[in-house]
Amino acid sequence: MASTITKVPLPQVVLSEGFWASRQQLMTDVTIPYMERILRDEVPGAAKSHAIENFRMAAGEQQGEFYGMVFQDSDVAKWLEAAAYSLCIHPDEALAARVRDIVALIGRAQQPDGYLDTYFTVRHVIPRWTNLLECHELYCAGHLIEAAVALHEAAGMDELLHIVLRLVDHIDARFGEGGVEGIPGHQEIELALLRLYRVTGDPRHRDLALRFLNLRGQDPEFFKKHTPKETLGLAFGDYGIDPEDNVYNQSDVPVREQQKPRGHAVRQVYMLAAMADAAATTGDAELAEACRRMFDAITQRQMYVTGNIGSTVHLEAFTDDYHLPGDTAYGETCASVAMAFFASSLLTLEPRAVYGDILELELYNGALAGMQLDGTRFFYVNPLEVHPRISGRLATHKHVLPVRPKWHACACCPPNLARLITSLGGYLYTEDERTLYAHLFIGSQAKTRHADVSLSTSMPWTGGAAFTMTAVHTPGFTFAVRIPGYARNVRFSVNGEALSPDIRSGYAYITRSWQAGDTVSVDFDMPARRLHADPRVRDAAGRVALARGPIVYCLESEDNGEELSCLRLPRDAEIRVPAHDPALLGGVTVLEADGLRLQPAPALYSEDAPAQTPVTLRAIPYYAWSNRSAGEMTVWIQEA
């Protein structure tokens, strides 16, 4: 049976105050205009984009050569999606006009048969649709579909939807039921088609998504058999993909039989998000079970404490259970964005607080760390440990940059983060016939099926939130609030009167005859926590990470002096929570503790334990690292 739970969509949820509202404002005021200038190649010193220019050439309005990755189009698509959300958050006629111009350009780049991919229209090295392994045509189509749905839903602009529907018809004619059997080399279109289906209700859109999912892994040699040798590496140069490596793109095993995360992390998790959406859409219990199994396999065996995933630069991939090296981590920003999608999709299958916990972990840590506080520089790779003499310098650590670059030759991450942050309203609530589920504590005004809700909170710095029903549409509905895994001493009250709600799978359920003006308060303590990794995590042996509420912390040499490996946190040291510092790093609550600094030893190896001096350890939120100097950073701290 299909899930009856649906998300309360973005346009109905406006972030009104606090941590995320200010970040949305940064997106609308700074990041989205900045990215647009990048895409138009107007930012000096940033890596070249050429993404708009490629569309001009495909439209025949410009001469020249295609430039960029084979999936360069997706940068424009993801920016359009973020711009759609931006227009919803903050109407801006000038931006809307520029969006319309770009959409019109995309329309002119579309081929008469509906085909749309500038790489193949401008270059003629490889025929269309012949190399699904490397060529990202379905991936780019997926992002265009998502952008079209976003513009339709969030900005009321349907021009791209019309373009995309012709593109989807073209794809469906080729790959749909009765067409050739094909699967994308990079999963993405599956989740996009399911989004499109929720807008169009056209079963062809759903069925094409299911067909891509269901065909995957049926023939483990699909890419080996169907990728013409003479096309290999042409679209991708140095990044050419091995057609024999069916683990890389998870095409070795049918999706329902996958047991643990393997291969390219973003491919894996985009696919899982699509699987969760498909399970919710169709009620496919086996698919739902595969999603639960994979969620546990990732979050319980292959996820960094910051929520980042992908333990190796080699193929940007998962490695093996408990292998989570900090200084060579990959932890791609996109992979954390994908985990947020996956967790959010799982919440439409069933309300389980662990999904909300991971969604929140990604938002505040794994994903958010990908952006500088000023909104104009971005990490692709998110390490847990950085040393400026090693990171970004040694061949084995070249990918681990200690400072966020302005842009990237492969620019998937920045617009991915922008679309996540600008669409955050859509992640707060789900609802079904009887119940409104609140997943995140983010200051906002929401119009839902059962009630209009005003959410007031000072999270993530103080535990708790107040939900005021500003209007009630379904008297007697059930209000369900996620109790975060980190919350202690949780108290509920309605209109100041304490109550003890039913708790199931980490959600507190309150049913009553709601009146406009009723306020549900949930309050909890957020003591600073020491997090111990499972002792099989070799990189964290003897070490702890500090966290408070949803925020994971790190040490920087800026606050703690150089050579962070010399610092020790005694087991019994109290972790203090000083007053919130609005002037530091855009406003943060730091953590402090009495620690020790080991002194350099007289010999490289000696029988004497190093001498120690007392120091105050000071930890800042992980998301805010590398916003001052290019020094050392570590999430894991050695205990003493």
Q: Which positions are annotated as active-site residues?
A: 316, 412
Distance CA 72, CA 52 (A): 9
Partners of 477 in beta bridges: none
Helix (H) or strand (E) segment spanning residue 435: strand 435-438
Q: Which of 443, 432, 324 is nearest to 384 (CA)?
A: 324
Q: Closest CB to a copy of itself among 600 and 614? A: 600
Q: Is 531 in the site for a copy of itself (CB under 8 A)?
A: yes
Distance CA 207, CA 194 (A): 9
Q: Closest CB to a copy of itself among 500 and 606? A: 606
Distance CA 537, CA 69 (A): 35
Q: Is 328 in the site for a copy of itself (CB under 8 A)?
A: yes
CB-count burial class (<10 Å; 0-12, 13-18, 19+) for 244: exposed
Distance CA 342, CA 197 (A): 18
Q: Is 614 in the site for a copy of itself (CB under 8 A)?
A: no
- Site map (CB under 8 A) of a copy of itself, residues 555-574, x = contact: --------x-xx-x------
Q: Is 323 in the site for a copy of itself (CB under 8 A)?
A: yes
What are the DSSP calls for 460-497, one per residue? Answer: TTSSEEEEEEEEESSTT-EEEEE--TT-EEEEEEETTE
Identify which range of 13-21, 232-240, 404-412, 605-613 contacts a copy of itself by CB under 8 A. 605-613
Q: Which of 104, 247, 390, 490 binds a copy of itself (CB under 8 A)?
A: 390
Residue 386: CB minimum distance to a copy of itself, A: 11
Q: Do the strands 478-482 and 435-438 form a parallel or antiparallel pair, or are they unpaired? A: parallel
Q: Closest CB to a copy of itself among 15 and 358? A: 358
Identify which range of 63-71, 121-129, 220-228, 528-536 contacts a copy of itself by CB under 8 A. 528-536
Q: Closest CB to a copy of itself among 4 and 300? A: 300
Q: Which tokens sit at 153?
A: 């839903």
Distance CA 200, CA 191 (A): 14
Query: How far out from the chain centre does Cα 343 lie?
Result: 10
Q: How many residues does the chain have?
A: 640
Q: Is 138 helix (H, G, I), strand (E, B) or coil?
A: helix
Residue 390: CB minimum distance to a copy of itself, A: 6
Residue 427: CB minimum distance to a copy of itself, A: 22
Neighbours of 221 (CB within 10 A): 12
Decide if 446 contacts 427 (C-beta within 8 A).
no
Residue 47: CB minimum distance to a copy of itself, A: 23
Which residues from 47-66 bind a copy of itself, rule CB under 8 A? none
Residue 430: CB minimum distance to a copy of itself, A: 25
Q: Closest CB to a copy of itself among 238 and 607? A: 607
Q: Is 529 in the site for a copy of itself (CB under 8 A)?
A: yes
Q: Is 638 in the site for a copy of itself (CB under 8 A)?
A: yes
Q: Is 490 in the site for a copy of itself (CB under 8 A)?
A: no
Q: Which of 449, 530, 576, 628 binds a copy of itself (CB under 8 A)?
A: 530
Identify which range of 130-138, 321-329, 411-419, 572-580 contacts a copy of itself by CB under 8 A. 321-329
Q: Which of 537, 551, 554, 624 binds a copy of itself (CB under 8 A)?
A: 537
Q: Closest CB to a copy of itself among 67 and 322? A: 322
Task: Mark out the alpha helices in 32-180 (DSSP H runs).
Answer: 32-39, 51-58, 73-89, 93-109, 118-122, 137-155, 159-175
Q: Is 352 in the site for a copy of itself (CB under 8 A)?
A: no
Q: Which tokens sit at 114?
A: 């509906």
Residue 136: CB minimum distance to a copy of itself, A: 23
Residue 362: CB minimum distance to a copy of itself, A: 14
Q: How many residues bind a copy of itself (CB under 8 A)?
A: 56
Q: Which tokens sit at 311?
A: 């333990």
Identify which range of 85-93, 232-240, 247-255, 541-549 contacts a copy of itself by CB under 8 A. 541-549
Distance CA 380, CA 579 (A): 32
Distance CA 340, CA 361 (A): 9
Residue 317: CB minimum distance to a copy of itself, A: 9
Q: Which of 569, 572, 563 is nearest to 631 (CA)?
A: 563
Q: Closest CB to a copy of itself among 110 and 391? A: 391
Q: Is 299 in the site for a copy of itself (CB under 8 A)?
A: yes
Q: Which of 264, 301, 450, 548 binds a copy of itself (CB under 8 A)?
A: 301
Residue with tokens 């399970």: 279
Distance CA 276, CA 342 (A): 7
Identify which range of 145-153, 315-323, 413-421, 510-518 contacts a copy of itself by CB under 8 A. 315-323
Q: Which are the contacts of 162, defined by CB distance < 8 A and separation ≥ 6?
A: none
Residue 524: CB minimum distance to a copy of itself, A: 15
Q: Which tokens sit at 524?
A: 């909890």
What amino acid is encoded at 454 in this protein? S
Rule CB under 8 A: which residues touch a copy of itself? 299-301, 303, 305, 312-315, 319-321, 323, 327-328, 385, 387, 389-390, 393-396, 529-538, 541-543, 545, 563, 565-566, 568, 598-601, 603-610, 638-640
